[in-house]
Amino acid sequence: MQTLIKELEDYNKLTGKEKKDKSALPLVVFSKAKQAAIDLRLLNPTFPDNPDSKTNKVVDNVLRLYKESDKDKGTQLIFCDSYQSPSETPKMDLFDVDLSVPQFNLYNDIKEKAYQGRYSV
């Protein structure tokens, strides 16, 4: 997050002309911040899996609801519009994305963890 904050601080120091030339930067930074809030691996798949990430909280909730609704065979739907790390080097690569590392896919991560949790009980 410090990287994103620094980018915005540097942007705010630019002249009007320089800001116009880099007008996409605030949108990129806010988009990256949104991804970071969900799971840092959306920015760079080499970042570690944080046990306290929103992704892992979702898995915990999915498993809890699965157990609570088991007798009714409940259904759950998970939606996220930012679900995959970059497949090519971003134009503004703030996090040194290594394209030799497989992409991180949020849905696959949730599905694998939920499946493991479901059958480990």
Residues 36-49 have pLDDT tens digits of 899 999 888 889 99
pTM for the model stands at 0.74
**Of 13-22, 24-33, 43-52, 84-93, where does mean pLDDT reach its minimum?**
84-93
Please say whether the beta carbons of 53 and 60 come within 8 A.
no
Tell me the β-bridge partners of 84: 105
Average pLDDT over residues 92-106: 77
If DSSP codes are grouped into helix, strand and coil, which group holds residue 105? strand
Run of H or E residues at 11: helix 2-12
Please say whether the beta carbons of 19 and 11 come within 8 A.
yes
The two tokens of residue 109 are 């991560």
Q: Distance from CA of residue 97 to its chain's centroid?
A: 14
Q: What is the pLDDT of residue 48?
A: 93
Instruction: Identify the residue with better confidence: 89 or 58.
Output: 58
Percentage with pLDDT > 90 across the chain: 28
Average pLDDT over residues 36-65: 91
Q: What is the pLDDT of residue 121?
A: 46
The two tokens of residue 83 are 């679900």
